[in-house]
Every structure is written in structure tokens, then in C-alpha cells.
């Protein structure tokens, strides 16, 4: 290969990575700004973090978001793992095509579509059977589970495709019952994918603003819904501080998960 | 811990706990009792029923509401099937919502705008993402992992916050304009925020990982000895790229473009925050009609039309591409 091309390639790559990280870096930097400005640097200060922690509405919304994300991702991992098992281990069965379609279509469905359709379902259900009464934590969680199941299914399916099916067959030949095979053979093999799927689902739920806006009711604003309503009124360093905290939390979480999986992979060898 | 406000007191916690424990026990118990095949149906049925109930059924409900008549009641639309005065079953079908889509220029413009936002941004993702993906695919395994993580990491922070970050950069007194003025490219700030350009930047920025990942997967399978062969036969690097690499990576390009284009068409947050109040898009029409005008049938009609005109054709195209790729793989 030629000697000149890597230079062009590296320049383009550097540009791409700069494009990805400069905006985030600027948000973090200006969260420590002394004045209200988010574009002119005046000096270092932690005052925006202080104000943020005094803001009860933000704290409530953050706790609500974490709660919904925890519930939605846990449920999504259970359901998504079942879907992945069915699709990659059960061979041909009636409805396999439908399950495969249903578990991948929400991945490419625009958020607005998922949000409005879930909301219309809840309105119709309330009319017909009286449940759910109004909208709140449960409706947001259900809508998030539906989205997250698909991501979990993709992650677990790809892991199942890489693992050796013959181990499970051997366990079954030795007389282990299917549920025992799953918990003693399959689960230890695929748990990194379950963890990755859970983390992905957790952040998806935590980040979602559109679906949550449609399916939330009065008094159940999640953090992104609150942020969106604040951002509409202008940019403030308080939001920068909040964004920085979220970014730091995500980085710590992802690194921790990565480290855990790496360690596990080394132990396995 | 303080419990966040809920509309139904503390019942949700018990409910959720019972659902999760119940699901696990269901699998365990059924597996134990049935051994073999009947337990399989539970594992199939739970995700199937969930997705039928909370993904497919809602789409049908949207379809139903899109042909309802707008009323002043709660909920603000008419029933599709009603019992008439003489006990006759009446079917109320109204195509007013769809008629509005065709006759009101606001809606036609919104669709065209969204298509334009999505296509230009998809191109942006491709131009920016291809070099990254190519570099990752050709890097050593250790570097490859590192570079991939760097691409995916921003995806883990919220799209809303990343869009917010762009507002700060693109404002009249933001860093981009400060930089342009510092190097003397312009005397007065250029209007960047609240323009279509800002929307292109925003969507490209948010969806870049979706373009890079399929491209990396595709380019990693590329046989680089083919490039060696092209070079040995006297092809210049750019020619080798255009006639070998690019055609072979076409499936990756198509997969990545669809992953960007389809969600971008329905994007609401990015055009609303970066495109200014005047930016028309499908997402903002649905949002406005639903939240502000409370015209549920019209909002549903806008959503159904988006699904039928844009999303479904794209998915069918993707399916046909996949089938073709499978056939080629079988032949090879």
C-alpha cells in the first residue's frame, strides 16, 4: 500500500474524532465557568454545581429517571434474552419470522412513532379497561421496555451465535433439564452480553426524551423531559454542570463494565 | 431514598417486583414441570406477546385514530365503531387528517424538509464516517478496540445533551464563530444556529456511530490483498479505492445509511433545538398537532403517512438487500 494515503486518512480520522468530542469538551469546560456565559471563559468556579444540587426538581427528576431506567432495563434483559434464545436456539418454529421482525423493527422506528403509538395505546386501554389510570412511571417504563428489548435481543443474539451450542447439547445429553442447562451452561457463557445489554438498555432509557414526553403524565417528568423544557428557554451553565455529571457517570459506568468483562475474558482463558 | 412522585402511590413498586419475580419463577417452574418442549413455548410467548401488545397493537391503534373524527370530548376523537340510534352499528371513517396532509402546504413542506434533513445528514455521516471506519478496520487489533470505543462512547451520553452542546458551539457568539473571526474568515458572526445547516450538523453528529459500526463490520471482512493486487497492476491508490474498496463496501454503506436515514426522518429534538422555531419537520408537526393543537387524528395521520411513505419502503429495501447478500453468500 502507498505511503501517502495514511496521512490523508489520519487527517480525516482526526477531524472526525474532533467533531465527536469537541462539543462534549466545551460543555464540560463551561460548566466550570464563573459567569453565566457558555461561550466566553471568565474563570474557574463550582457555583453551577452548587445551584444544581439545591434544585429539588432536578434531583427528583434524576431519581425518577434512574428508577425507570433500572426497572425498564431489568425487564428488557429478561424478555430480550428469551427472544434471543428463541431466535438462535430453538430452530424453526411457527412465528419465528414474526418474532424476528417484531424484535428488530423498533430499532429503526423513529422515536416519535414509538412515543405516539404507545400513548395512543394507553389512552385506548384506559377507555376500554380502565388501565392505566392516567400516565406516569408505569407507562413510561412499559414504553421503554419495548424499545430496550430489541437492543438486548440484538446483543444477546450475537453473543449466542458466537458461543458453542455443543456445550448445551452435551449437558442435555447428560440429562440436564432445559432450565438447568440455561442457568448452569448458557448463562455463564453469555452473561457479559446480558450485562452489556442491561447497560445499553439502562442508558437508552435514561437518555430518552421523546418517548418519555409522550408517555409521562403530570408530576412524572423524567430528567431528559425536564432538561428539554429548560433548554427551550435558553442555554445555562447549570445544564452544563448537569451534563458533565451525566457524562462522568456514563464514562465511569462504561469503563467499569469494560474492565469487568475484560477481567472475565482473561479468567476464562 | 426519597420516592419520586407517582400518580398511583406506592403500588408501582410492588407491581414491578411481582412482575420480575413472577417472570423468573414462571420460567423456572415451567421448565421444571414440563421438561422439554412445552417450556419452549413460554420462552417464545413472553417476548412475542409483549411486542405484539406494546409495539404492533399501538401501531394499529395509531392507524385507527388516524381515520377518526376530531371531537371536543375526552379522548378528543370519535369511535371507529359506534352503536347508532336504532341499534345499528355505525362505522365512522374520516379521512380528514389525510386530506389535510395533502392540501395544507405546511405538511407537504414538513415532509420535504425532513427528507432533506435526513438525506443531507446521511451524506454527512458517510463522508465523515467512512474514513474513520476505514482507519479502524485497518488498525491493529489493540488500536481497533480503542478507536471503536471512542466512536461508541458519545452514543452512551444522551442525544439531547449532545445537541445541547452544539447550541453552545454554533451560537452567534459561540466558539465556532469566535474561531472564524479570530482567523479572519469573517468580520461579523455568521448565522449558524436556527438554520438548516445546524440541523445537518446536529443529525450528523448524533448518528455518526450508526454509520461507522456497520461500515467497520463490512470493511473488516474486506480482503486487503485485492488492493495489493490492484497496486501491483499499476492502479493509483485513489483508483484502487474507487474501483475495489468502494464497490465492495457498498453493503456496509447501505446498512449504515439506512440506520441513519430512517430515525433521522422522524427526528424531533434536533430540528426543534437547532433549526429554530421556523424549522418544519415531520417530528415537529406530530409534536405540535398532538401537544398544542390536541388534534389526535391529524397527529396520527402524519405518523401513519411517515411510516407508510418512508419507513416501510426503506425496511423493505433493506430486507431485499439482505436477501440478495445471503444468496450471494450461498453461491460463493
- ipTM metric: 0.88
Give, in order, the Cα–Cα distances in Å from A185 to each of A127, A190, A194, B40, B186.
Answer: 46, 9, 14, 17, 65
Measure in Å the smallest separation between the Cα of A108 and chain B Cα atoms: 6
Calculate the CA A79 to chain-centre distance.
15
3-state DSSP assignment of residue B91 = strand
Residue A73 has pLDDT above 90, yes or no: yes
Give, in order, the Cα–Cα distances in Å from B41 to each of A112, A136, B55.
Answer: 33, 32, 20
Predicted confidence band of residue B5 (pLDDT cuts 50, 70, 90): very low
Chain B touched by A172 (CB under 8 Å) = no
Residue among A141, A108, A109 at smallest CA distance from A122: A141
Residue B189 is predicted with a pLDDT of 83
Report CB contact under 8 Å: A116, B290.
yes
Question: Side-chain half-sphere of B118: how many Cα atoms within 13 Å?
Answer: 28
Measure in Å the smallest separation between the Cα of A79 and chain B Cα atoms: 5
Q: What is the mean pLDDT of residues B278-304?
A: 90
DSSP string computed for B267-298:
--HHHHHHS-TT---HHHHHHIIIIIS--HHH
3-state DSSP assignment of residue B118 = helix
Task: For residue range B81-94, list pLDDT tens digits in order.
Answer: 666 667 676 677 78
Find residues 79-118 of chain B whose CB sits inside 8 Å of chain A. Answer: none
Find residues 132-171 of chain A whose CB sits inside 8 Å of chain B. Answer: 133-138, 141-143, 145-146, 149, 153
| Virtual torsion, Cα B266, B268, B271, B276, nearest 10 deg | 140
Question: Side-chain half-sphere of A243: how many Cα atoms within 13 Å?
Answer: 32
Measure in Å the smallest separation between the Cα of A43 and chain B Cα atoms: 17
Of B35, B205, B231, the CB nearest to A178: B35
Cβ-contact A143, A137 below 8 angstroms: no
Predicted confidence band of residue A131 (pLDDT cuts 50, 70, 90): confident
Pick among B2, B6, B7 to test the A interface (most A CBs inside 10 A): B7
Cβ-contact A154, A107 below 8 angstroms: yes
3-state DSSP assignment of residue A33 = strand
- Predicted structure pTM score: 0.84
Q: How many Å apart are CA B289 and CA B296, to the nearest integer?
A: 7
Report CB contact under 8 Å: A217, B20.
no
| Number of other residues whose CB lies within 10 A of the CB of residue A25 | 12
* Residues of chain B positioned with their CB less than 8 A from the CB of A79: 23, 46-47, 50
Measure in Å the smallest separation between the Cα of A46 and chain B Cα atoms: 19
Best-predicted range by mean pLDDT (A79-83, A202-206, B171-175, B279-283): A79-83
Best-predicted range by mean pLDDT (B80-84, B137-141, B157-161, B236-240): B137-141
Cβ-contact B179, A42 below 8 angstroms: no
* Residues of chain B positioned with their CB less than 8 A from the CB of A20: 150-151, 154, 205, 208
Task: For residue range B130-149, list pLDDT tens digits in order.
Answer: 999 999 998 888 888 889 88
Report CB contact under 8 Å: A26, B169.
yes
CATH architecture of A57-268: Orthogonal Bundle (1.10)
Residue A248 is predicted with a pLDDT of 87
Cβ-contact B199, B274 below 8 angstroms: yes
Cell of B188: 461579523
Of A17, A39, A210, the CB nearest to B269: A210
DSSP string computed for B244-268:
IIHHHTHHHHHHHHHHHHHHHHT--
Report CB contact under 8 Å: B47, A10.
no
Q: B77 - beta bridge partners? A: B70
Residue A15 has pLDDT above 60, yes or no: yes
Pick among B5, B33, B55 to test the A interface (most A CBs inside 10 A): B55
Report CB contact under 8 Å: B154, A71.
no
Of A30, A79, A246, the CB nearest to B46: A79
Find residues 9-68 of chain A whose CB sits inside 8 Å of chain B. Answer: 9-10, 12-13, 15-17, 19-24, 26-27, 30, 38-40, 60-61, 63-64, 67
Cβ-contact B243, B75 below 8 angstroms: no
Q: Which of A74-88, B168-182, B200-214 has the lowest mean pLDDT?
A: B168-182
By C-alpha distance, the chain A residue nearest B156 is: A203
Chain A touched by B233 (CB under 8 Å) = no
Q: Which residues contact residue B270 at a Cβ distance below 8 angstroms, ignoring those fewer than 6 apart?
A: B159, B163, B199, B202, B203, B206
Q: Residue B139: enclosing H or E segment and its boundaries?
A: none
Residue B172 is predicted with a pLDDT of 83
Pick among B54, B121, B245 to test the A interface (most A CBs inside 10 A): B54
Q: What is the mean pLDDT of residues A209-219?
A: 89
Chain B touched by A97 (CB under 8 Å) = no
Q: How many Å apart are CA A37 and CA A43, to the nearest integer?
A: 11
Report CB contact under 8 Å: A60, B62.
no
Q: Residue B216: enclosing H or E segment and its boundaries?
A: helix B196-220
Find residues 151-190 of chain B whose CB sits inside 8 Å of chain A. Answer: 151, 153-154, 156-162, 164-169, 171, 173-175, 178
Residue B130 is predicted with a pLDDT of 94
Per DSSP (E only), the strands in A169-241 are: none
Q: Give the A:B interface size as CB pairs under 8 Å.
A: 293
Of A93, A111, A146, the CB nearest to B54: A146
Amino acid at each position: 500500500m502507498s505511503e501517502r494515503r495514511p496521512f490523508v486518512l489520519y487527517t480525516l480520522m482526526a477531524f472526525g474524532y474532533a467533531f465527536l468530542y469537541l462539543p462534549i469538551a466545551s460543555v464540560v469546560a463551561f460548566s466550570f465557568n464563573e459567569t453565566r456565559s457558555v461561550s466566553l471563559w471568565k474563570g474557574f468556579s463550582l457555583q453551577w454545581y452548587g445551584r444544581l444540587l439545591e434544585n429539588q426538581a432536578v434531583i427528583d427528576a434524576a431519581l425518577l429517571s434512574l428508577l425507570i431506567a433500572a426497572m425498564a432495563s431489568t425487564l428488557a434483559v429478561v424478555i430480550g434474552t428469551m427472544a434471543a434464545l428463541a431466535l438462535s436456539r430453538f430452530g424453526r418454529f411457527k412465528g419465528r419470522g414474526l418474532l424476528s421482525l417484531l424484535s428488530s423493527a423498533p430499532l429503526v422506528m423513529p422515536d416519535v412513532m414509538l412515543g405516539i403509538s404507545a400513548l395512543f395505546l394507553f389512552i385506548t386501554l384506559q377507555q376500554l379497561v380502565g388501565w392505566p389510570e392516567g400516565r406516569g412511571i408505569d407507562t413510561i417504563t412499559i414504553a421503554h421496555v419495548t424499545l430496550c428489548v430489541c437492543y438486548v435481543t440484538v446483543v444477546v443474539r450475537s453473543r449466542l451465535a458466537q458461543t458453542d451450542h455443543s456445550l448445551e447439547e452435551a449437558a442435555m445429553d447428560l440429562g440436564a433439564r432445559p432450565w438447568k442447562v440455561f442457568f448452569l451452561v448458557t448463562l455463564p457463557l453469555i452473561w457479559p452480553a446480558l450485562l452489556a445489554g442491561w447497560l445499553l438498555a439502562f442508558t437508552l432509557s435514561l437518555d430518552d426524551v421523546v418517548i418519555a414526553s409522550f408517555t409521562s403524565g403530570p408530576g412524572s417528568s423524567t430528567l431528559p423531559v425536564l432538561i428539554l423544557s429548560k433548554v427551550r428557554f435558553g442555554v445555562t451553565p447549570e445544564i452544563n454542570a448537569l451534563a458533565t455529571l451525566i457524562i462522568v457517570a456514563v464514562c465511569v459506568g462504561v469503563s467499569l463494565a469494560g474492565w469487568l468483562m475484560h477481567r472475565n475474558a482473561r479468567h476464562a482463558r | 431514598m426519597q420516592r419520586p412522585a407517582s400518580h398511583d402511590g406506592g403500588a408501582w413498586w410492588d407491581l414491578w417486583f411481582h412482575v420480575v419475580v413472577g417472570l423468573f419463577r414462571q420460567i423456572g417452574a415451567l421448565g421444571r414441570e414440563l421438561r422439554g418442549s412445552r417450556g419452549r413455548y413460554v420462552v417464545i410467548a413472553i417476548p412475542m406477546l409483549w411486542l405484539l401488545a406494546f409495539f404492533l397493537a399501538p401501531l394499529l391503534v395509531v392507524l385507527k385514530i388516524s381515520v377518526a373524527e376530531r371531537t371536543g370530548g375526552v379522548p378528543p376523537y370519535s369511535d371507529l365503531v359506534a352503536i347508532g340510534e336504532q341499534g345499528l352499528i355505525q362505522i365512522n371513517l374520516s379521512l380528514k387528517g389525510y386530506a389535510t396532509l395533502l392540501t395544507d402546504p405546511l405538511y407537504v413542506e414538513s415532509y420535504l424538509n425532513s427528507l432533506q434533513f435526513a438525506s443531507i445528514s446521511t451524506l454527512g455521516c458517510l463522508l465523515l464516517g467512512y474514513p474513520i471506519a476505514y482507519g479502524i478496520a485497518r488498525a491493529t487489533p489493540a488500536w481497533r478496540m480503542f478507536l471503536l470505543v471512542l466512536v461508541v462512547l458519545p452514543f452512551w451520553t444522551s442525544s439531547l445533551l449532545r445537541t445541547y452542546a452544539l447550541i453552545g458551539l454554533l451560537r452567534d457568539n459561540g466558539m465556532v464563530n469566535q474561531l472564524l473571526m479570530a482567523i479572519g474568515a469573517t468580520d461579523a458572526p455568521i448565522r449558524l444556529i436556527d438554520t438548516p445547516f445546524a440541523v445537518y450538523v446536529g443529525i450528523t453528529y448524533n448518528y455518526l456511530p450508526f454509520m461507522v459500526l456497520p461500515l467497520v463490520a463490512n470493511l473488516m471482512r474486506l480482503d486487503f490483498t485485492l488492493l495489493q493486487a490492484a497496486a501491483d497492476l499499476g492502479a493509483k491508490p485513489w483508483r484502487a479505492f474507487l474501483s475495489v474498496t468502494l464497490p465492495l463496501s457498498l453493503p456496509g454503506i447501505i446498512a449504515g445509511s439506512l440506520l441513519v436515514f430512517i430515525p433521522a426522518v422522524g427526528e424531533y429534538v434536533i430540528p426543534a433545538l437547532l433549526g429554530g422555531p421556523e424549522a418544519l419537520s415531520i417530528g415537529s408537526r406530530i409534536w405540535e398537532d398532538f401537544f398544542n393543537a390536541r388534534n389526535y387524528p391529524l397527529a396520527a395521520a402524519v405518523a401513519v403517512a411517515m411510516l407508510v411513505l418512508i419507513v416501510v419502503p426503506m425496511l423493505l429495501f433493506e430486507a431485499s438487500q439482505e436477501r440478495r447478500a445471503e444468496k450471494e453468500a450461498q453461491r460463493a
